[in-house]
Every structure is written in structure tokens, then in C-alpha cells.
Chains A and B, each alone.
Chain A
Amino acid sequence: MEPILEITNLRKEYEGFTLKDITLTLQKGYIMGFIGPNGAGKSTTIKLVLNLINRDGGRIKVFGMDNIKYETQIKNRIGFVLDENFFYDEITVKEMKNIIASFYKRWDDKAFDKYMRKFELPYSKKIKELSKGMKMKFSLAAALSHNAELLILDEPTSGLDPVVRREFIDILSDVIQDENKAIFFSTHITSDLDKIADYVTFINNGEIVFSNAKDEILENYGLVKGSNELINDNNKGVFIGLREYGYGFEALVKDKRQARKVFGDKILIEKPTLEDIMVYYTRGN
């Protein structure tokens, strides 16, 4: 089956930051979380997919088509929610909706209306009168109302309160019930992904650290705890990141079975969260 999103050796060079030939694949029917600290290259990648910036190398295929050559066809089938909203403050929700709707071939006014009611959004209010959460919901409503098969979300939950964030996540899990769709979801709030992501791609400093099934990641990685005497220069290598405290150490390992072999029963191994993994990778030793 053809991947819905296929990024190969994608490169973008800035002064002081380079997206280093990243490769990732997303299949239909799945949600991929795209995590990494601020400045890791998440937004750069998404902007490249949307052709908002020019790439320096590599290839992006969406629905099997080159994202620049078939830009309009592809974008008709993509729904996007960006980290900020770029709507016209001066006009009403309804006017903004009409503007957006006019660009999509398969706009579905009924679907939009359904989401407007579900999100309790007022048509008559001006965009500038909406709260950040409401703008985000409006953006999501628009993204979901033109039969998009791929949703691209760039940090949609940052700055939202926990209640709205939960609502947002619930809607995404509804959307993905349709197995012809896929969601590519960048965030640095990794707890958003705990419930819904099938795959997690972790980017750090412009490089993909891993791109795997979430369950597999959480199954293999381990958060190791033990006393400081256990650590020496020979076995330090198994750790991705290590923190030493007065009472003992805590470290992240990629393969908890290997860690068990090295340290035996003297250590405690816990299941890490995605956040643990991200933090330890980013901070290193």
C-alpha cells in the first residue's frame, strides 16, 4: 500500500540550523506523533510539506504525489492546523469560513456546521473576539470540513487549557476511526500522544532519532533506577541519558533487556513515558 506521507532525505539549511536529510513514512489509518524539543525541526518539516518554505534536498510525497508538482491537488486533500492562527481578525467567523470554503473543491458545509455546534462556536463573532482555544477549534473545524484524508497538525495543543486539549484529542480519535485517513501531529506536549498515537517520530537537532510504533518504543525503552556505585565507565555506554542524584541514579536505556543483562537484579526498570524519552535524549549525559 502506498504511504499517505513519505518524506525521503529531506534537507533544509538555515544559518545555525540544518534539517539533516530526514526520512519518515506514514501509512493510512494511523496517527503519527512528531515530537521533539522547541527548535528541533518539527515546524520546519511541516512547512516543507506544505511548501511554505523551499527545500534544499530530498523528496516529499503525499498520497504518492510530489508535494510541489501536485500542490493544489494534494492540498485539497489535506487539512491543516498550525501552531498559530492566521485568520483575518477583522471579519466574522462566518465570513472567514466562506473565504476558506471557496478554495476547497470538496467543502462540506454540513460537516462544518456540525463541528461549529459541537464546539459551540458563534458564526457572528469576529475572529479577534475568539479565545485561543476557540480559534484552534475553528481551525480544526475547517480542517475537518473538506473531506481531507491527511491532517497535518503543527503544535495544535500548545497554549490550550487541559479541558480543551482533551476535547481536541478525543475528536482526533474519532476522525481516525475512518481508516482511509491519517494524522501527522507535531507536539512537544508528549502526553497528548499517550492516548492516540500509533507511531512516534522523535526529532532532535534536525535529525530523526527514531520513528517507530509507539507500543514498541515503550516496550523496549526502560527507565533504569539504581544506586550510584553500579555505574562505571564500562557500562555507562548503555545509557542514552543519565542523571545522578545523592541517593542513586536514574537513566534511560534503549533496550531494557540488555540493561537487565548488564546490571542483573540490582536495578529497577520502569516503563518510561514519551516525555522521559524526549528529555533524556535531549539532555544526554
Chain B
Amino acid sequence: MLNLVMKDIIVQKKSIAFAVLYIFFFIVAFQSVGEMTFTCAITAFSYILVMGGFAYDDKNKADIMLNSLPLKRYNIVLAKYISLFVFMTLGTLVYFILELVLRSTGFSFIKTYPITIESFTGAIFAVSIMHSFCLPIIFKFGYTKAKVINFVIFFAFFFGVSQLINYIYAKRNVGFAGKAFAFFENKPDYLIALAIIAAAALLLLISYMISLRVYKKREF
């Protein structure tokens, strides 16, 4: 399975270099985002590389070759979900180093934000939720056809989630949201983080099962 992830890395050597620059750009340019810079940078970094992997597969019709190799379809699907975390880890490392270097070299006009437990949990959640929607669509229709749909999801996600959060926040004292807020209010941060990560994991699991189901039916 990891050899499929390696394959996505080898094929995308250049894109990875570009994506590293992208993180740098995020740190420098998104000064107003504050602590959530890391969350945004990692979400974009992972998205670029996961989609890039699909794009190369699609351009070279690699699904035909991969499915002729000694692999089961679930290997191919699962590898993409694993690659998410590999790219996220890679991005986190890059961010960590870049942020550290920028901070310690004393470019005082650039304000940098170290990784916090909130921004890290946020990143896991954002990456999971976005790919949970995108991946099944790609596995169903192939990258090219799914591109338009995913483009919509990408923007709906960025704009929609902030709207949703505002909405939920406004209703924090009533209904289900109210109960949930009350429940978490006095809980320690790590417990909240765990709850968010558990929710993300559940979402990914459901997404994986849908992806596997549709990919098994695909014909090449």
C-alpha cells in the first residue's frame, strides 16, 4: 500500500517543491489569518498534492495499469486516504521548519504563528472533511469529470464552513448546538480535540467505504 503512496510522491516531485513554496507564501502573505494560518496552509498543501496524484493518474490513464498489477481495488482506494495523512505530515514538518526559521532569523516584519493544538486539530478536521467529500466523487467519475464538482465543493467548503460556524456560534445557547456547547464548555482542550479528531475519523471511514464501493464498480 505504501508503494502506491510512494508512487504519488515520485510522480509529483516537482509539485511537492511547489507546494512547499506555497506554505511559505501562506505564512508570509496570510498575516491576517492569525493562528489559523497553519490550518489553511496544511489544508491547501494536502489538497494540492492529493489532487495532483489523481491528476497524474488520470492523465496517464494509470488506473488501467494499476489495476492490472497485483493489487486489489481496495489497495488503490485506501492508499489515497493514507496519502492524505502522509502529505499532511509532510506539510506539518515543512511548516514547522519554515516557521521556526522565519521566527529565529528575526524578520520582525513577518509575524509567524507556531503550530498550536487548536490549529493542528483544525487542520486534521479541515483536511478530513474536505477530502471525505471529494474522494468518493473522484473514485466514481474519475478526476477530470469530478474536477468541476470538486471545485464547487472546495469553495463551498471555504465559504460555507465559516458561515456554518458563525451560524452554530449564534445558536450556541439553544437546541442541539446549545447542548453540545454546554457539554464541551468545561471540558479540557485535549478532550475537545479528541472529539473533533474522532468525528473526522468517522467521516473518513464512511467516505472510504463509499469510495471503495463506487471504485469497485468502475470499469477501465
Which chain B positions have C-beta within 8 A of A84?
Answer: 61
Within 8 A of A (CB), among B44-101: 56, 59-65, 67-72
Which chain B positions have C-beta within 8 A of A73?
Answer: 70
Q: Is the CB of B71 within 8 A of A86?
A: no
Q: Complex formed: what's the CA distance from A90 to B7 in Å?
A: 12
Please pick, from B14, B60, B63, B67, the residue contacting A89 in the complex, using a CB distance under 8 A: B60
CB distance from B210 to the nearest CB of A (A): 18
State the main secondary structure of chain A at its contact with B. loop
Which chain A positions have C-beta within 8 A of B68?
Answer: 50, 52, 75, 80, 82
CB distance from B43 to the nearest CB of A (A): 25
Q: Is the CB of A75 within 8 A of B70?
A: yes
Q: Is the CB of B7 within 8 A of A99?
A: yes
Q: Is A104 an interface residue (CB 8 A)?
A: yes
Q: Is A210 an interface residue (CB 8 A)?
A: no
CB distance from A36 to the nearest CB of B (A): 21
Which chain A positions have C-beta within 8 A of B161?
Answer: none
State the main secondary structure of chain B at its contact with A. helix
CB distance from B83 to the nearest CB of A (A): 14
Interface size class, chain A: 20 to 34
Q: Complex formed: what's the CA distance from A53 to B217 in Å?
A: 8
Contact flag A90-B56 (CB < 8 Å), given A72-B70, A99-B10, A103-B70: yes
Q: Is B219 an interface residue (CB 8 A)?
A: yes
Contact flag A103-B3 (CB < 8 Å), given A54-B217, A71-B72, A88-B56: yes
CB distance from B127 to the nearest CB of A (A): 25
Which chain A positions have C-beta within 8 A of B59?
Answer: 89
Q: Is the CB of B219 within 8 A of A54?
A: yes
Please pick, from A75, A89, A95, the residue contacting B10 in the complex, using a CB distance under 8 A: A95
Which chain A positions have C-beta within 8 A of B6?
Answer: 99, 102
| Residues of A near any B CB (own CB < 8 A) | 47, 50-54, 71-73, 75-76, 80, 82, 84-91, 95, 98-100, 102-105
28 A-B residue contacts at CB 8 Å? A52-B68, A52-B219, A54-B219, A71-B70, A72-B72, A75-B68, A75-B69, A76-B70, A82-B65, A82-B68, A85-B65, A86-B62, A86-B63, A86-B65, A87-B62, A88-B62, A89-B59, A89-B60, A90-B14, A91-B11, A99-B6, A102-B3, A102-B6, A103-B3, A103-B69, A103-B70, A103-B71, A104-B70
